[in-house]
Structures are given as C-alpha cells and as structure tokens.
Amino acid sequence: MSVAGGRKKFFDREIAVHGPVLYLDFELDADEQHRRVSQLTAGLGTEVPEDLLYVSALGVRTHEAISFALDVCEEHEAVMTVLDSLGPAMVGDMAAAKDVIEFHNCYIAPFRNAGVTPLLIDHQARQQSGEGYQSKGAFGSAYKEHLSRSLIQVEAGDRSAEQGTLNVRLRHKKTNFGALCDPFDVTLEFSGEEISASVRELTSSDRAQEATLNARDRVLAALEDSPAYPDELVEFTGLARSTIKNEVNKLKKAGRVEATGEVRGQMEEVRLADSRTRPIKEKFAKSAPDRSTVAGLFADPPEWLIRQIEKYREDPERHLRPLCAVVAATVLGDGARGPEVREEVEEALR
C-alpha cells in the first residue's frame, strides 16, 4: 500500500520506488482482502490506493494465474507484485531443491525479467519445544531462501485480546546488496473498522538477543543499561562464553568498553566507555547528523559504518570498494553506485 499509494516512508523507513502494485492472492477472495485493506487504510487515515491492483487466484491453476498476473503487470506498468502465499502457489514438492529451483525459474523469474519486483509471502514450519524462533527458516528446501535477494522474518509477539493489540517484530535476515536493516517492532491495534500500526524501536535488552545483529553490537546493547560480568553477558545475549570473551577484548582495544575495577572470582566487570573516547565518532562529531548524504552519514556514523571503517583501516586498498558500495546503498539506495560516492567517501576518511 505504501508503494502503490506514494507514501514516502514505511514505518519510518524511506521508500525509494513508487508505482502500481499487484496483489496476487492464492489464499483469500477479493471481498475478504478488500475488508482488510479498508481497515488498514482507515488506520492510516487514507484511501485505498488506485494503483493497488488485486487478482484472486483461489482455485486457479498456478500457470494460468501467473500468466494472467504478468499480463496485468504489463498493462498497468506495475513495479511490484505480492504473491500470497508460496505454499498454495507452489508447483511440485517444496522440500525438493529441484522443484523449488524450477518453480522460481518458471514462475518468479518472468516478473523480474519484466522489471517487476516479486515479493513472496511464505510460511515457516511449526516451532518445536526448545527451538528458537529466530533460527527458523522457510518451510521446505533451503533454496527458497537461497534464491531470495532479501528476506524478512515476521514474528508475532505479545498480544492482548482485551486491548485488541498485537506486537509484531520485523527481522531482516538476508540481503544480497547493502547492509541489513536493524530489526524493529510494530504494534497493531484492532478496533471496529480500522487497524492502526505504530513502530517501536527495540530496547537494549531486545537488541542484545537479536541474532541478526553481530556479536559486537549485542554485547554493546547488553551493556547499555548497566555494567556486567562475562557470565551475565552470556545470559543477556545467548552468545557463547568464548565469543563474549573475544568481543570484550576487542571492544577494550577499540576504546568502546572499559573495566569498572570490580572483580568476581576470575571475572572482571566491564562497562561502556565514555562515548567521547570513541576515536571514529569523535572525528566527525562537529557535523550535523543528516544521514541522507555521505557527509551527514559520516558525521554521525551508525554502528555498522564504524565497523566498516575499522575494516577499511586494516587494508584500505582492498576494503574501499565495499565501503563505497554500502554507503551508496544507504545514501542513494543502490549499492552498485559505489563509484559515484567514492570521492566523497575518501574525503570523509581523510
């Protein structure tokens, strides 16, 4: 709806492309989907976008549905199609790599060839006792994920039937271009004829347990609220003790973490160092934090950029190109445009 409706942001995330969107539905009919869309637009305070197209494939053979959808996309010059969902649409055995690859080549690739971005909705297997939700993937062959350029996991969290609310976490687990987006929560409120949605950034304790974040960021998040001993960091993050030990040592050397002077047995308590001692951020502290430009991005570098710069310092000739690519993906929305920002990146690094 955001792409079709011309909205500039989706939950505070910039939208780079707008245009007609086709919703290809293998599960529900038009009346049910229209009711849901109307509730969502009412919550957003807007109308159902004219460029939001709908085709019900309920009871229709996949070949016929895809062929018709491609014609609709061509007629309306669609920029995206949403396939809901992969299970009912799948031709063949979804657990067989050969069948999944053939399905993508025959039914998904034609959308890409037509310049239409396919957004596939899929399901996970049931969560077993003792199994972590974050580690789960799409039901069936691993090639379902291998053939995807980007993957977002949606996890239902706390819900209240009395208040009519549901918290959902969006977790970016894979991307072939640029950096992963940080996970965030969305609170859905159901009331009468509308569904409203509001974004909530994760707390430090939430981020400490997020497997999509690297070990360094999780340790730093765990220390945001208070100092901690290594065994407490293991408990807070779920990381292995050896990983905690290695990351704490690296963070000490980088000036990000320091000892408090407290000792328990052979364990040393650590805390976050004063942010003013961070060498990379200190260099760019005078610029305004406008991350829509290269200069602004370096003026207030996020954690992933700090790590990229540190990697660049280790071998500038080898790591300059990847650094420019991820900066271009953030600023220009296209990692392939790295050469366009190279001069500005080199200037910022001086």
CATH of the domain at 214: 1.10.10.10
Check residues 83 and 284 and name the one with the higher pLDDT. 83
pLDDT digits (tens, 9 = 90+) for 46-70: 899 999 999 999 999 999 999 999 9
Co-location of 189 and 221 in the same domain? no
Q: What mean pLDDT, rounded, does the chain reach?
A: 88
Largest CA distance in the chain: 71
- Count how many Cα atoms sit within 13 Å of the Cα of residue 263 in the half-sphere of its side chain: 3
**Domain presence at residue 134:** no
Say yes or no to pLDDT of 333 above 90: no
Mean pLDDT along residues 73-95: 95
Within-domain flag for 157: yes
- pLDDT tens digits, one per residue of 155-196: 998 888 888 899 999 999 999 887 888 899 999 999 878 999
Domain assignment of residue 109, yes or no: yes
In terms of pLDDT, which residue wins out, 228 or 324? 228
User: Could you tell me if 25 and 87 lie in one domain?
Assistant: yes
Q: DSSP letter string over 121-132?
A: E--BPPPPTT--
- Asked whether residue 138 is domain-assigned, the answer is no
Backbone angles phi, psi at 302, to 5 degrees: -70, 170
pLDDT at position 282: 41
Which of 97-106, 215-224, 312-321 shows the lowest per-residue confidence on average (mean pLDDT)?
312-321
Encoding tokens for residue 168? 């959902």
Both 14 and 113 in a single domain? yes
Do both 29 and 124 map to the same domain? yes
Structural domain includes residue 137: no
**Nearest 5°: CA angle at 173, between 146 and 55?**
70
Q: Please tell me whether residues 158 and 250 are part of one structural domain.
A: no
Structure pTM?
0.73
One domain, residues 71 and 41: yes
Predicted pLDDT of residue 281: 42
pLDDT tens digits along 118-166: 999 999 988 777 778 888 889 999 999 999 999 999 999 888 888 889 9
- Measured CA to CA, the distance from residue 11 to residue 170 in angstroms comes to 11
Whole-angstrom distance, CA of residue 178 vs CA of residue 305: 11
pLDDT tier, 275 (very low <50, low <70, confident <90, very high otherwise): low
Q: How far is CA 7 from CA 15, 161, 214, 238, 260, in A?
A: 7, 30, 32, 38, 48
- Identify residue 86 by its one-letter amino acid code: L
Band (pLDDT 50/70/90 cuts) for residue 290 is low
**Any domain includes 136:** no
Query: Is 27's pLDDT higher than 60?
Result: yes
Q: For 308, list phi and psi in degrees, rounded to 5.
A: -65, -40
Task: Using a pLDDT cut of 70, give the percent of the chain over it.
Answer: 95
Final residue of a structural domain among 160, 182, 201: 201
Distance CA 16, CA 4 (A): 12
Task: Please indicate, yes or no, whether residues 12 and 83 belong to a single structural domain of this protein.
Answer: yes
* 237 domain residue, yes or no: yes
CA–CA dist 210, 255 (Å, integer): 24
Between 192 and 270, residue with greater pLDDT: 270
Domain count, the chain: 4
The answer to whether residues 178 and 296 belong to one domain is no
Looking at 275, 309, 337, the residue that finishes a domain is: 275
For residue 108, is it within any domain? Answer: yes
Do residues 65 and 121 share a domain? Answer: yes
CA distance 240 to 52: 47
If asked whether residues 48 and 122 sit together in one domain, one would say: yes
Over pLDDT 90: what percentage of the chain? 60
Q: Print the domain residue range for 325.
A: 281-349
Confidence bin at 277 (pLDDT 50/70/90): very low
Pairing of strands 165-175, 150-160: antiparallel
User: Is residue 121 located within the same domain as residue 36?
Assistant: yes
**280: confidence class by pLDDT, cuts 50, 70, 90:** very low
For residue 127, which of 141, 137, 114, 115 has the smallest C-alpha distance? 137
Q: Are residues 4 and 120 in the same domain?
A: yes
